[in-house]
Amino acid sequence: MLSEEKIARINELAKKKKTSGLSDEETKEQKELREEYLQSVRGGMRHHIEGMKVVDPDGKDVTPDKLKKIQKEKGLHNRK
C-alpha cells in the first residue's frame, strides 16, 4: 500500500495541474507516483483474486482451473 504522504502528493500534483500547470520535473514525479500507485492497486487486487473460491448457487466449487493451479502453487489450495 502506498503511504499517506505519497497519496497526498499525488492529489496535490493533480490539483496543481488543473489550476496552474506542472513543471517538467513535477510531471515526471506525477507519472512515477501514479505508476507506483497502480502497481500497488494491481498487486492488492491480484492477491485478493488469488485467494478467492468461486461457488455456484448449489454450493459446488466452480473455481476456474487456472486459479486453482495458482492457489496450489502458492500453497492456498487447502482452504475450505
What are the sequence ranges of the domains in the chain?
4-73
pLDDT at 1: 79
Of the candidates 75, 26, 77, the residue with the CA atom closest to the CA atom of residue 53:
77
Instruction: Answer yes or no: is pLDDT of 45 > 80.
Output: yes
Dihedral sign from CA coordinates of 62, 66, 70, 40:
negative
- Say what the pTM is: 0.71
Instruction: Answer yes or no: is pLDDT of 76 > 90.
Output: no
CATH architecture label of 4-73: Orthogonal Bundle (1.10)
Of the candidates 72, 39, 36, the residue with the CA atom closest to the CA atom of residue 53:
72
Instruction: Answer yes or no: is pLDDT of 44 > 90.
Output: yes
Instruction: Answer yes or no: is pLDDT of 77 > 70.
Output: no
- Angle, helices 24-50 vs 4-19, to 10°: value is 130
pLDDT digits (tens, 9 = 90+) for 17-37: 999 999 999 999 999 999 999
